[in-house]
Amino acid sequence: MPGIVTRRFRIHNAEQFHEAFSETAATNMYIFISRVSAWDDDNNPPTPTDTIQNTEYDAWRRMIAAKRVQSGDVTFAVPRYNWTTGKVYREYDDQSTTLFDTPASSNTFYVINSSYNVYKCLFNNKGGASTVEPTGTSTSTLVTADGYRWKFLYSVDAGSALKFLTDSWIPVKTLTADDGSAQWDVQAAAANGAINVIDVRASGSSYLTNVGTFTDVTSSTIMDLAAGASATDNIYNDSSLYIASGTGAGQVRKIVDYIGANKRVTVSPAFTVTPTISSTYVVGPTITITGDGSGAEAYANVASGAVNYINMINVGSNYSFANVAITANSSHGSAATAQAYVAPPLGHGADPVDELGGHNVILNVQLSGSESGDFPAINEFRTLGLMRDPLTRAGGVATDSTYTQTTKLNVSSVTSSGNYTLDEVIRGNTSGATGIVVRFANTNLANTSGVVHTLYTSANGTFQSAETVTGLSSGITATLDSTTYGELKENTGDVVYTENRGPISRAEDQIEDIKLIVKF
């Protein structure tokens, strides 16, 4: 039985994950760093494997420390596409099967401009190149000089840009309350099921048009066209008369009678606001929009007998589907077709997360120095991960801000003036247990005692008190006095994400700005 998992399901999963950080019974999520040992090729780290051994056990054996992710550290995200002149941008199409696919760089339907405003392309001027950067935060459709029509969605504020914006991703959010921003104005003004664009698919031929200023207005239904109008009776019957400017502008009515001798048209129904002899008009084929919504109106521009553009007068509301018919005098004009693009539920700009396919989540956590001693501010790490609700060794679900996870070997009688080498393997001479040195912290001036921060590497058992611990590279020896294990209980909670990277060096005076992209 054919079936699909829709993008809405992916967005739902992203929403559930996002909500986990802020709901009343919040999930405790921790970013962890791990692995000090080099990859076979540090410039090309391997892709993680989702096996029980790797995810449930190895992740814990290599874990150095963990820091809790707070609700303010999380946001939805979409791929970043900078507006660039000369590119043809894809226009929004409610019937497209590939709208949310990862597109070629020149074929995206939304962009971020140089001011960090995000816009959706509603119309691309029949496949023309975009040469004018969209700007402004109006709630109306923005029309640029290159013929493009854009919809402003939201701005990435300075704080969000600093925390979440990357070369490849932009943060996206849908507001739930009025924050005084232009985004809220757009959300509030959005029209459910509006028709913002009607795209001409076939231009047809032999359509008539006339553009001018009325020479006389008899009533709200009868007026005389300009001298250049046709002298043939009834030639404009079934076409439409649109008031382009002046008194009565923005109205369109169907022509039901035309007398060529005095250029007189009769329209039905009557204009609500009667035009005057200063009003300009456009005669063109009638655009009839049918569907399950109401209020959408449009008129056509004709050039050399072909329907060139269809312009929206009113976008209407509450459509879930719409059909467009282009009609005129049956002897003058045929074969033009068009498609109406129905806005998403609630309207363009009402829900940027959904409209842009925001089924990704960015997490940003900063590691500052040693984080109160829990993160060794020396050495490197190569793996980042995310885990849910780990347990503490003392009991209960972890809730503190940070935890250290290395095993600390408290040693004495260290080889005179010796220091274990970072990343070297150490071995207990009696137990045979092995570990990798993450850090060696001397605790006296003579360097004869200290703490060796290690990660276990074998299943040969645990280090034993009073045994000699030898560095297999440095040759340094010491006597093990006691062992302190990591603060989190191994193999608890769920490791839900891992990512391998090249080596990231740590230092006491630096901050690592970690951004994880979780894709659903």
pLDDT single digits (tens) 280-334: 999 999 999 999 999 999 999 999 999 999 999 999 999 999 999 999 988 889 9
pLDDT tops 90 at residue 1? no
Q: What is the pLDDT of residue 510?
A: 87
Q: Are residues 319 and 438 in the same domain?
A: no
Separation of alpha carbons 363 and 20, rounded Å: 13
Rounded to 5 degrees, φ, ψ at 70 are: -90, 165
Region 467-496: what's the mean pLDDT?
93
Residue 236 in domain: yes
332 shares a domain with 203: yes
- Is 368 part of a structural domain of the chain? no
Phi, psi of 31 (to 5 degrees): -85, 135
The mean per-residue pLDDT over the stretch 40-61 comes to 90
Rounded CA-CA distance 313/272 in Å is 15
pLDDT number for residue 460 = 66
User: Is a pLDDT exceeding 90 seen at residue 509?
Assistant: no
Residues 226, 326 within the same domain:
yes
> Among 324, 342, 360, which residue terminates a domain?
342
Pairing of strands 117-123, 149-155: antiparallel
Residue 462 in any domain: the answer is yes
Handedness of CA 229, 232, 234, 235 (dihedral sign): negative
Q: Tens digit of pLDDT for each residue in 114-159? A: 999 999 999 999 999 999 999 999 999 999 999 999 999 999 999 9
Cα dist from 286 to 207, 222, 255, 295, 477, whole Å: 11, 18, 9, 15, 93
Residue 235 inside a domain? The answer is yes
The confidence score (pLDDT) of residue 255 equals 98
Residues 419 and 299 in one domain: no
Local structure of 130: helix, strand or coil: strand
User: Given this model, what pLDDT does residue 103 score?
Assistant: 67
3-state secondary structure of 57: helix
CA separation for the pair 70, 363 (Å, rounded): 9
The 10s digit of each residue's pLDDT in 329-369 is 888 899 999 999 999 999 999 999 999 999 999 999 999 88
Q: What domain range is 465 assigned to?
A: 406-484
- Within-domain flag for 205: yes
- Type of residue numbered 357: G
In one-letter notation, the amino acid at residue 510 is: Q
Q: How many domains does the chain have?
A: 2
How far is residue 321's CA from residue 327's CA, in Å, rounded to a whole number?
20
> Considering the domain boundaries, does residue 95 fall inside one?
no
Q: Are residues 211 and 330 in the same domain?
A: yes
In the prediction, which pLDDT does 503 show? Answer: 93
Least confident of 125-134, 209-218, 503-512: 503-512
Q: Which of 303, 319, 342 is the last residue of a domain?
A: 342
Please report the pLDDT score of residue 23 as a whole number: 83
Residues in the chain: 520
Which pLDDT score is estimated for 53?
87
Same domain, 317 and 415: no
Q: Convert 367-422 into a string of H (helix), E (strand) and C (coil).
A: EECCCCCCCCCCCEEEEEEEEECCEECCCCECCCCEEECCEEEEEECCCCCCCCCC
Integer-rounded Cα radius of gyration of the chain: 34
pLDDT value for 465: 93
Q: Which pLDDT score, from 0 to 100, does residue 458 have?
A: 63
Burial of 95 (0-12, 13-18, 19+ CB in 10 A): exposed
**Pick from 323, 342, 361: which residue ends a domain?**
342
Q: Of all residues in the chain, what percent are helix, strand and coil, respectively (each to 5)?
A: 10, 40, 50
pLDDT band at 417 (very low <50, low <70, confident <90, very high): low
Q: What is the pLDDT of residue 2?
A: 80
Residue 121 belongs to a domain: no
Q: Is residue 434 one of the residues assigned to a domain?
A: yes
Query: Which of 1-15, 385-399, 473-487 is least confident?
Result: 1-15
Residues 303 and 420 reside in one and the same domain: no
* pLDDT, mean over the chain: 93
Q: What percent of the chain has pLDDT over 90?
A: 79
Task: Give the pLDDT of residue 106.
Answer: 59
pLDDT of residue 56: 84
**Residue-wise pLDDT tens digits, 240-281:** 999 999 999 999 999 999 999 999 999 999 999 999 999 999
**pTM for the predicted model, two decimal places:** 0.87
| Phi, psi angles (nearest 5°) of residue 74 | -130, 140
The mean per-residue pLDDT over the stretch 493-517 comes to: 90
pLDDT confidence tier of residue 459, bands split at 50, 70 and 90: low
Alpha-carbon distance of 456 to 436, in angstroms, equals 6
Determine if residue 161 is left, alpha or beta; phi over 0 gives left, psi from -120 to 50 gives alpha, anything else beta: alpha
Which of residues 101 and 498 earns the better pLDDT score? 498
Q: For residue 461, what pLDDT band results from cuts at 50, 70 and 90?
A: confident
Q: How far apart are the first and last CA of the chain?
A: 24
Q: Which of 435, 520, 422 is nearest to 480 (CA)?
A: 435
DSSP for residue 55: I
* Sheet of 149-155, strand order: 110-112, 117-123, 149-155, 142-143
Q: Residue 45: pLDDT above 90?
A: yes
Closest CA to 437 of 420, 458, 418, 419: 420
Q: Which residues of 289-323 are buried (b: 16+ CB within 10 A; e: fewer)?
A: bebebeebbbbbbbeeebbbbbbbbbbbbebeebe
* 205 and 331 housed in the same domain: yes
Do both 213 and 303 map to the same domain? Answer: yes
> Are the C-beta atoms of residues 189 and 315 closer than 8 Å to each other?
no
pLDDT value at 226 more than 90 = yes
